[in-house]
Amino acid sequence: MKLRNVLAGTVLAGAVMAGVAAAPAQAATTQAATTQAATAGTSTASFTKHWFDGYSGYSRGESRGHRSYYKGYYYFANGRYYFDVDVWDRDRDRENTYVDFVYHDDRGWHQGRRFVTGGHAKYRFSYSARGGFDGFKFRIGEGRQGHFDWSSYSNRSW
Condensed to tens digits (0 to 9), the pLDDT of residues 91-150 reads 767 778 888 889 999 999 998 888 888 888 999 999 899 888 888 998 888 877 777 778
Give the per-residue pLDDT at 59. 61
Give Cα separations from 70 to 104, 115, 119, 123 (angstroms). Answer: 20, 11, 12, 11
- Report angle CA 42, 48, 49 to the nearest 5 degrees: 125
Q: Domain spans of the chain? A: 1-46, 50-157
- Name which residue leads in pLDDT, 2 or 150: 150
Instruction: Note the pLDDT tens digit of each residue in 71-105.
Output: 999 999 999 999 999 998 877 677 788 888 899 99
Give Cα separations from 77 to 55, 62, 70, 129 (angstroms). Answer: 28, 41, 23, 10
Report whether pLDDT(34) > 80.
no
CATH topology of domain 50-157: Immunoglobulin-like (2.60.40)
Report whether pLDDT(57) > 60.
yes
Report whether pLDDT(33) > 50.
no
Q: How many residues does the chain have?
A: 158
First-last CA distance in the chain? 83
Report whether pLDDT(26) > 60.
no
Backbone angles phi, psi at 14, to 5 degrees: -65, -40
Distance separating alpha carbons of residues 138 and 117, to the nearest angstrom: 15
Q: Alpha helix (H) ranges present in the chain? A: 2-44
pTM: 0.63
